[in-house]
A and B are shown apart, each in its own frame.
Chain A
């Protein structure tokens, strides 16, 4: 199975400041059509996960543009340009290039 490793596992943030989460896959997630099968999800407390980024760097409609995703080989990064209070929660990366889909351990973003 593909192993997804996130860091940090805990991220204290200050509202209005930027934040960044890393995710590393144990093998390439690059598909034959040139996309990376890597998603980012946010799970707010008591809620179900919400898709933030798909295919490594694409943002679904309705997701604020302060969220962005980038790729460098097997290293993936989620950036929040300016953290808002509603951004608190658990962030997960997930690979979907081969089953079983696998998630990272999760990064807990909380206010300082």
Chain B
């Protein structure tokens, strides 16, 4: 059974940094496309970033240059390093397995990031 569990959320000041983790079981992070999607309070879903099996990455324009997606060599954890955080980055962040760029079939429960002074 595939499970994705996010962690690392919390309260951070504007301009600060936070690293989110997504622990995977039942699938190998390094051989899958993995994505981050976020949802601001009371708002819709927003795609944030993807890392493909070959290691290439893409980002939403709103986070490009500030966020970095990566994975560890144990093949079990996906990360999202978030720098220069802004109030508008406040959201629940979900990690998901992306099926070769066609759809996201496994999702974690999400971790809440609040950017506020």
Chain A residues at the B interface, C-beta cutoff of 8 Å: 1, 35, 37, 39, 41, 43, 47-51, 54-55, 60, 90, 92, 94, 96, 99-106
- Number of B interface residues in the complex (CB < 8 A): 24
Give B106's nearest chain A residue, CB to CB. A51
Known: A49-B94, A50-B107, A99-B58. A55 touches B102 (CB 8 A): yes
| Chain B positions 11-69 with a Cβ under 8 Å from a chain A Cβ | 35, 37, 44-47, 50, 58-61
Q: What's the minimum C-beta distance from A40 to chain B, rounded to whole angstroms? A: 9
Main secondary structure of the interface of A (DSSP, over half): loop
When distances are taken between beta carbons in the complex, the residues of chain A under 8 Å from B101 are: 37, 96
Chain B residues at the A interface, C-beta cutoff of 8 Å: 35, 37, 44-47, 50, 58-61, 94, 96, 98-99, 101-105, 107-110
* 5 smallest beta-carbon distances between A and B, as pairs: A54-B103, A101-B47, A48-B107, A99-B58, A39-B103
Give A38's nearest chain B residue, CB to CB. B103
Cα distance A99–B110 when bound, in Å? 22
Cα distance A62–B59 when bound, in Å? 31
When distances are taken between beta carbons in the complex, the residues of chain B under 8 Å from A101 are: 35, 47, 50
Q: What's the minimum C-beta distance from B99 to chain A, rounded to whole angstroms? A: 7
With beta carbons under 8 angstroms apart, the residue of B47, B96, B104, B108 that contacts A100 is: B47
Give A104's nearest chain B residue, CB to CB. B44
When distances are taken between beta carbons in the complex, the residues of chain A under 8 Å from B45 are: 41, 43, 49, 92, 94, 103, 106
